[in-house]
Amino acid sequence: MTQYKAPVRDMRFVLNEVLDLDGHYQKLGLDEVNSELINAFLEEGAKFSENELAPLNRSGDEEGCQWNDGVVTTPKGFKEAYAKYVEGGWPAMGGHPEFGGQGLPGSAGIAISEMTGTANWSWSMYPGLSHGAVATIEEHGTPEQQSTYLPKLISGEWTGTMCLTEPHCGSDLGTLKTKAEPQADGSYKLYGTKIFISAGEHDMADNIVHIVLARLPGAPEGTKGISLFIVPKMMVNADGSLGARNPVKCGSIEHKMGIKASATCVMNFDGATGYLIGPENRGLNCMFTFMNFARLGTAIQGVAHAEAGFQGGLRYAKERLAMRALSGPKNPNGPADPIIVHPDVRRMLLTAKAFAEGGRAMVYWAAMMGDTVKLAKTEEERKEADELMAFITPIAKAFITEVGYEAANHGVQIYGGHGFIREWGMEQNVRDARISTLYEGTTGIQALDLLGRKVLQTQGAALRRFTKLMHKFCEANADNAELQEFIAPLVSLNKEWSDMTMAIGMKAMQNPENVSAAAVDYLMYSGYVVTGYLWAQMAKAAQDALAAGQGDDDFYKAKISTARFYFKRLLPRTASHKLAIEGGLECMMELDEAHFAF
């Protein structure tokens, strides 16, 4: 069975030495928030994740959640771990101080989310879904709604959900059917069924606050006629105490491939009382308050499974003896060599390591952009950060989860036949990882968002905003001889990316289906380039630390070696994605539907 060790040293490196957390907070005027404070959080978060959550990961998977007439019971130990999480004040980190929160920026807790998620992704989803509810009510709720729900959501006494998907509609919410009927007292009665609702019902908190999309009578068709509502599981009395049970009930829980300890619920709203949040028919606009952050939360899952695949694979590769190195014995006193000496095992380990550490840098950077969106002193700064975050978010969500799943599979492969056995924990990592490329929008949906909405609809402005950052970095380091192995490929890819985008745009003018045909390969290409840019920054930070004699030489040398591996063995994948894009639409569409037969 694998054991999780939080990569605190690497987290500090990314936050402090690559992304300059202190400078970031100073720019935002957050005088009381600094790297010293965040480092203290990292140490405590590591203890909680390693000691409380990781031991429940396998047992939770084997026991799963139990459903009985609408009541959901979580696996043994989950409820107790959540109580300790609340007692430690972890849910309150980002909440507004007016309602009992600590008022810390989103980036302050991003590494904690990664730790809890890697230790036990199923458990982490229960508090994780509350962030979206809190963000929505903070941004769009009335003062009364905020005072009613935020204090206990922020403290963690209550949890929250997002209720979007219905049996007949997933990402296409325009066909949503759940309806909301106005009542004389200003409330609404909601009728309908929502599916795939994570943490929709459980025994870990006294109340669950559902954020629900529904249609008002006479609302316009499609996405322009959707409103957003607060629907509590338990009604809340005027004094803040819990009242009667609201008629919203869990009809069943899904029997899933992975994340079995996370309750994925069918929720039935049978005249449940709800309260409009935000303007009528503007529910999707309000929902997008938390969608970028929810998608970043899923990107963290990709990092988590890559890290778990790497840690488990590394531990086994150092211990498992099999065959001799082709260049001669490396363990002459033993019956065979440890498999870590074999290049193919090294390839898999380094792939997982490169994706985990590169993904970590991307998600943390995006979280810091989220800070700027909320807290920057000028509208110009907020707008620029918002547009850059909008561009990066679909790449982070889809690319990191795709390569995180690949890394999880490498973890199984390193173990050979033992990887297929439950006791080692690696097959659970693969099963748990598989959902990450699906929810919060599949890879295909994210790819269309990136290429269609973020790039082509802005006439390439969103792409240019990012490629300008790459250009400035490359230009600033053009004379750094030690960095040229990273700078030269980035310069070339920066131009190729722009040229390729223009070519797709020209084809899209002839037939818009060309956008869909190119989208996933375009997103993956973009992901490899963005990760390459971040790896180049990490290599530079490591080189600077070595030159300054900061100590910890082995860590920095390993960072440069991993960057070199990424540039030589993973970044060249961009070439295959470019060729696939150039393969075009026609070969996909020439086969008549009737000939898709077996």
Residue-wise pLDDT for 417-475, tens only, equals 999 999 999 999 999 999 999 999 999 999 999 999 999 999 999 999 999 999 999 99
Q: What is the pLDDT of residue 290?
A: 67
Q: What is the pLDDT of residue 597?
A: 82
Residues of the chain with pLDDT under 50: none
Q: What is the pLDDT of residue 170?
A: 66
SS3 state of residue 579: helix
Q: What is the pLDDT of residue 287?
A: 82
Q: Give the closest residue to 367 by CA, choosing from 7, 12, 21.
A: 21
Q: What is the pLDDT of residue 175?
A: 83
Q: Give the closest residue to 43 by CA, choosing from 17, 6, 16.
A: 6
392: Cβ–Cβ under 8 A, 6 or more apart, which residues?
362, 365, 366, 369, 466, 530
Q: What is the pLDDT of residue 139?
A: 92
- Give the domain ranges of the chain: 286-451, 460-589
Q: What is the pLDDT of residue 121?
A: 98
Strands (E), 215-347: 227-232, 234-236, 242-245, 248-253, 264-276
SS3 state of residue 9: helix
- Active site (catalytic) residues: 440
Q: What is the pLDDT of residue 439?
A: 92
Phi/psi of residue 150, each to 5°?
-65, -40
Q: What is the pLDDT of residue 2?
A: 64
SS3 state of residue 556: helix
Residue 520 has a CB neighbour count (10 Å cut-off) of 22
The architecture CATH gives domain 286-451: Up-down Bundle (1.20)
Q: Which pTM does this prediction carry?
A: 0.97
Strands (E), 99-247: 158-163, 179-182, 188-198, 207-214, 227-232, 234-236, 242-245
Cα separations (Å) of 550 from 8, 246, 542, 543, 560?
A: 18, 59, 10, 11, 15
Distance CA 321, CA 341 (A): 10
Contact criterion met (CB below 8 Å) for 508 and 585: no
CA angle, corner 119, sides to 258 and 42, nearest 5? 150
